[in-house]
Amino acid sequence: MGLSQNLSLAQLLILSTLIIPSLAAPAADDAPTAPTVTIASGVVIGTTAKPASQAGSTDFAKAYLGVPFAKSPPERFSPPQAAEAWTSPLTAQSFRPACIQQFTNQGASQTLQKKYFGNPAGALPQESEDCLYLNVYTPSNATRSTKKAVMFWLFPGNLQFGTAGLPIYDGSSLAMSQDVIVVTTNYRTNIFGFSNSPEVATGKQNSGYLDQRFALQWVQDNIAKFGGDPSKVTIFGESAGGESVKQLLANPPSPLPFSAAIMQSQQSLLLGSGSDSYGKVLKHFSCDGAASPIACLRKVSATDIKAYIESSTALVFPPVDGDGTSTKDVRSSISSKKWPKVPVVIGTTVNEARVFLAVEGMNDGSTGLNSALGKFGLGSISSSTTTSALTQYASKGFNGPYYLADRIITDAIFTCTTSSLVNYLSQNGHTVYRYRYDAVFPSTSIFANPGSYHTSEIPSVFGTYPEYLKATSGTQSIAQQVGLSNFMQNAWGSFAKKPEGGIGWTRSDLKTLRNALGAALTDTPFPRLVEFEIIADSGETSNEVFDPADTTDDGGDGLSLGVRRLLQLPTLDTLEKQYLGY
C-alpha cells in the first residue's frame, strides 16, 4: 500500500520485474579498449556498450558488470559484510547470478509467472547465493574528475525474486543520453533476504534491505572513481524496488546517501506471517528441534530450500517491521520529520493489475468477476461493498470481468494509495511530483489485452524497449514509443542532475480531484500530475499537466481516460483503508 505493507493482496500480486528477454552482457561494434577503474578493493576492467536505442550514435557507454559490493556469498540470513580486496585485475564484463528467487504461484500459473516476470525469450537467469554484485554504467567521457549525477536502481519482484542483471535494466542508454552514472544492484529476497528468524538480532533481520544500504554505501565510497558525484545520488525503483525506495526514505541511513528519490508503482504485497513461514521451513527440514535452528538451516542446500518455499503460496517472508529498515505505516516517519526533505517523484500506470490477471490466465474474459476478485484478496470484502463498487464502475463503461477487475484492483491497490502518500507528503511540506503512465505499444504487448500494465513503463525509462522485439517477434518500435522514451529519460535524468529544479512539470499541490462519477474524492486534496499517454487513433504523443477539476472524457480510444480514471468511490475508500490497515 501507499502507506503500509500490512496488505491483503498477498501472494498472487507478485509485484516485480517485467518480461525480460535473454540475459547477455552488452556489446559494442568496433568498441574501444576495455575501460579500467581502480578502486580501494582493486582494479576493475569493464566493457563497452552501444544500446539498440542509441544505434544511430557513434558514442558508447562504459559498463562494469558484476562488481562485488559485499562479501559474496554472504553468511546465509546474516547482514552483508565488506568485500575482500582482489590482487589481480577483476574482469567485470558479464552479469553475475541472481540471488535465490521464489516464484510461489502453482501449476500453469507459476509457468506464466516465470515467463512474464523471468525471461520469456530464454532460460531463467542463473541463481546462486553468491550474488552480492552490482553493475555500473557510465558515459564514455566519465573520468574520476567529472562528478556526474548518479542514478541508483532497485529492481522489482515483490521482495521474492528479481535481479539487476536483466537486459531491461541495462543502464547504458540512460547513461549515454542523460550524461549520468547508472548503478543497478542485486539484493537478497524471500527467506534469504527476510528470514524472520528470532535468532537474528534486532536491526540485522532484514538482510535484503541491508544489502541495498550496503550497496548505497559502496556508491558513496567508490563512485567518484567511475566519474560520479557521491553527493548527488537519486535512488529509484519500481514495484518492490519502489517500496524499497520508500523504506529508505522512511528509515533513512545517516549520513544520508542520496539527494532525491523516484518511486515507480511502489508496492510490496506479502500477506501472512513471516515467523510462521520460517517455522514451517524449520519443521520441514527437521531443524525446529535443533539447539540452533538457524545453524541447522544454514546446512541445508539452497536448492532444497528454494524448492520448498516455492511449493506453496502461503510461504511468505515480509520484512520485519521496526528493525530500523522497515516501517509498515510510513506516515509516522513523515509526521515526525524523520522522512528527509529531498525531492520525490511518484507515479503509477493506468492498468497495473492486468499483468497479474494475465498470470492467473484471466485476461481472455472467460473468468467470472467474483473469481477474479477473489484471487486477489477482494473476496473478503463485504458483498454490499463489492456490489456497490461494481455497479458504479460498470455505470462508467468499465464492462466485463477482466476490465472491471483491472480497474478495481488498480485503483484500490495502486492509484488511490499512491495518491494518499502523495497528499500526505504534500501536506507536510515535502516537494513531490506525480505522474501517470498510460501508453500501449505493440512491441511491449506480451500478453493479450495488456493496457499499460504494471512494469510497462520500465523500458521507456531505461530506453531498453528494443529488447522486447525478441519476445514479441514481428513487431517494431513505433515513433511514439521512441519519443516517449526520450521524454521520460530526459525527465528522470534532469531530475537526477538537478532535483531542486524539478522534473519538468508542476509540483504536486493541494487541489481537489473529482472522480469519474463527478463527485469530489471525499473532499481529499489531490495533487496535480503529469500523464504520459499515447492516443492511438491520432498517433499523437502527449505529456501534459491535467487540470484535476476537469472530468471530461478524452473522447478517444480507450487507452487514455486521463485523470477521469482516478476513481476513489466511497466504497473504494473502504477497500483502501482495509488494505492500509488503519
The predicted structure's pLDDT at residue 18:
32
pLDDT for 502: 85
Stated as kind and residue range, the H or E segment containing 263 is: strand 260-264
Give the E-state strand segments of 84-227 in sequence order.
90-91, 133-139, 148-154, 181-185
Whether residue 145 contacts residue 100, with contact meaning beta carbons closer than 8 Å, is answered with no
Domain ranges of the chain: 10-41+63-72+95-342, 366-416+438-487+500-580
Cα–Cα distance for residue pair 216/373, rounded to 1 Å: 39
Peptide bond into 255 cis (omega under 30): yes
Q: What backbone torsions phi and psi does residue 180 show, to the nearest 5 degrees?
A: -130, 165
The CATH number given to 10-41+63-72+95-342 is 3.40.50.1820
pLDDT of res. 73:
97
pLDDT confidence of residue 567: 29
Output the furthest CA–CA distance in the chain (Å, rounded): 69
The whole-model pTM stands at 0.84
pLDDT in the model for residue 560: 27
User: How far are the Cα atoms of 197, 294, 311, 314, 326 from residue 279, in angstroms, in the given order?
Assistant: 8, 11, 15, 12, 21
Rounded to whole angstroms, the Cα distance separating 461 from 173 reads 10
pLDDT confidence of residue 33: 87
**Which residues, in sequence order, are CB contacts of 174 under 8 Å at separation 6+?**
137, 151, 180, 182, 461, 462, 463, 489, 492, 493
Residue 490 three-state SS: helix
Distance, in Å, from the CA atom of 431 to the CA atom of 418, rounded to the nearest integer, reads 15
Positions in the chain whose pLDDT score sits under 70: 1-32, 119-123, 364-389, 395-397, 471-474, 509-582
Separate counts of helices (H) and strands (E) for the chain: 17, 16
Q: How many CA atoms lie within 13 A of 289 on its CB side?
A: 2
d(CA 550, CA 273): 43
Distance CA 495, CA 493 (A): 5
Give the pLDDT score at 123.
67
